Amino acid sequence: MAPHLKADEDRITYWKSKLQAQTSNKTVGICWRSGLLGNMRDMSYITAENIVEIFVDIDCTVINLQYDYTGDEIILIQSALGNRFINFTDIDLRNDLDDLAALMKALDLVFSVNTSVMTLAGAIGANTLCPAWIGTLGKSFNIMLPTVKSIIGSKTIRENSEHYKTEINKALSIL
């Protein structure tokens, strides 16, 4: 199925060259929570600590797609992953959806909880893994977002880091 939206090819090329200038590893974009937090919503998101647990041993470069990150979250991830973490500050991850779409298409994989980042990634046809997202009718996929695969674990979303790590490694190995 063709994607619903198309990212600008010139911007994809721009982001690919920017990524290649900084890393030769496979690249994974990450989004761990929504900007809207509180009560039941928090149960659907992971934390920056989870991101560290998941990616500390995966051979890839992690690209920040979280638009409303805190300085503490970035410091935590940066100190754990070092030069395997890139936080581009020259893109408005919240408001510049054209550039965000192009950046996501330039990546090898997107790992995002169920937020607008995950939906945009699916709409442009980016290879995407979504922790604990329940697809249509309880399936691990959604027919409207065929490139988004749910990773449904046996524990709460924040207790499945090992499961997510396995699925990310599996996805990266076939790219």
Question: What is the Cα–Cα distance from 7 to 3, expressed in whole angstroms?
Answer: 10
**Residues 6+ positions from 144 with CB-CB distance below 8 Å:** 4, 122, 136
The pTM (predicted TM-score) of the whole model is: 0.92
pLDDT value for 45 = 87
Show pLDDT as tens, one digit a residue, over the chain (175 residues).
778 899 999 999 999 999 999 999 999 999 999 866 666 555 678 999 999 999 999 999 999 999 999 999 999 999 999 999 999 999 999 999 999 999 999 999 999 998 999 999 999 999 999 986 454 445 566 767 889 988 887 778 888 899 999 999 999 999 8
The percent helix, strand, coil of the chain (3-state, each to 5) is: 45, 15, 40
pLDDT at position 136: 46
- The answer to whether 55 and 62 have CB atoms below 8 angstroms apart is yes
CB count within 10 Å of CB 124 equals 23
Helices first, then strands: H and E counts in the chain: 6, 6
